[in-house]
Structure 1
């Protein structure tokens, strides 16, 4: 009996320590397609929110959410005012300041207005007039970044602060194309008023997949805690929770593709 009481006390201490080591954490979300958006009732929802909520529940974390632009989020992570954020693609430069905990594998696409005839990156570049919009601080993979650098040299790239502003530029035809992840353009194909006004072009090399996920500030989250986040995401993937979360906001085929990282 005494041994059982001692074991229970030890387990309670370990649980309390684990919880104390996991928060409160300051997290920031950014609006982007199916990843994070306002539902009809005005509440924020999306894949990123559901993933963070489930991670917090499993780990016993207190995670204080906020919503901001991607540029300000990176400034907060670098400056120490944020502990974590969501759905960022891994790059060597970013890995210096954050731990990246993979939970999705994405591809970038080019959304073109229907009347634009370009069928490749080279054709769009040769056009000489058409402009493209991107979200400031987003990364698009080696092939697209090299192409965008050429377009920037010609003054043909608009940098928007967020996805809503990017779509406004596109709808107003201030730009003839925009870069978008599949989680970004998926909600657009559900909107009947946009049907037939644009096309989705997959110009990236076949094997160019961008792996991303939760990002944890190296200033505030140590390796051991980051490993716990990684273990939790892996468990969510193995028991089907990650798949179910993605399927709440995407169709089953796209959800399966995005979690195949």
Structure 2
């Protein structure tokens, strides 16, 4: 594209043309057009500082020491140092520019370590009133829990409440320290009182127990069970039931210790996660492990 230099004489000429009568016989003063140009230029100039100020407001201030970040072993989410949560962590670390120290431990120990002030962050936290006493929970995806029942036992159940029927001795397995949603948790509390709940440290243990018939049911999300059932040769042995009610689908978030981060600092980490969602990064990472429909179902609704 050719560049044209505009001389002073041409400017004067054009200003003069601006004063010529319009088709309606009205003259448009040249200085009005000049003022309009100046106003547009000023507004565009202000966009840069405003954007820079907004970026400064959202900028994360890294602690002076490495952030203590805990993972827990779970199929697809985090296994042998790989998985969706590892991918999300790598993106969070790159965008924040902070230093991290990672550790892998059972879920129930993670909660104890937070209460003791020994951890700063962890992943895939389900928000509960108890956890919000010690954690800021920053949502970034949602998961839905389903009931997985051995087909040989499924005909004994017509509803979730049937687990608690007199004479029903079916056992269910759970991961110690997990929360599954209001309806499931209420049922588990009743069954635990009767000694019919088996607790394990890792969810992959539950799939093996279900296959061996040591338990009749377990609770899991598609992110866990889709690959685990195939890997354990159980696809045709299990009935999948959606009996958890509205609370079975719930946001999961990054947990930040309230001992380590202020509310204002937590908002900046939430802004980082929101940007990852808006620019498609979170969906892209989920699709490494899930097909498009399941990946879409895991995305949170847009935040304001």
TM-score (normalised: structure 2): 0.75
* Deviation of the 1:19 alpha carbon: 5.1
Partner in structure 1 of residue 159 of structure 2: 120
- Larger Rg belongs to: 2
Matches of 1:48 and 1:22, distance apart in 2: 24
Matches of 1:206 and 1:99, distance apart in 2: 23
* Deviation of the 1:214 alpha carbon: 0.8
Partner in structure 1 of residue 70 of structure 2: 28
* Deviation of the 1:100 alpha carbon: 0.4
User: Relative CO higher for 1 or 2, CA cutoff 8 Å, sep ≥ 6?
Assistant: 1
Extract unaligned runs of 5+ from structure 1.
1-10, 39-43
Matches of 2:112 and 2:96, distance apart in 1: 27
Matches of 2:232 and 2:191, distance apart in 1: 31
Partner in structure 2 of residue 3 of structure 1: none
TM-score (normalised: structure 1): 0.86
Matches of 2:214 and 2:230, distance apart in 1: 23
Size of the alignment, in residue pairs?
A: 244
* Deviation of the 1:190 alpha carbon: 3.4
Extract unaligned runs of 5+ from structure 2.
1-52
The alignment partner of 2:186 has SS state of helix
Partner in structure 2 of residue 162 of structure 1: 202
* Deviation of the 1:178 alpha carbon: 0.8
Alignment of 1:81 onto 2:118: yes
The alignment partner of 1:175 has SS state of coil
* Deviation of the 1:21 alpha carbon: 3.4
Partner in structure 1 of residue 172 of structure 2: 132
Structure with greater proportional strand content: 1
Q: Is the contact between residue 36 and residue 47 of structure 1 (CA under 8 Å) also seen in structure 2?
A: yes
Give the alignment's Cα RMSD to 1 decimal. Answer: 2.3
Q: Which whole-Å deviations, capped at 9, do the CAs of 1:125-151 have from their partners, x for residues lacking one? A: 326111000111111111111111221
* Deviation of the 1:36 alpha carbon: 1.1
Q: Is the contact between residue 124 and residue 252 of structure 2 (CA under 8 Å) also seen in structure 1?
A: yes
* Deviation of the 1:228 alpha carbon: 1.4
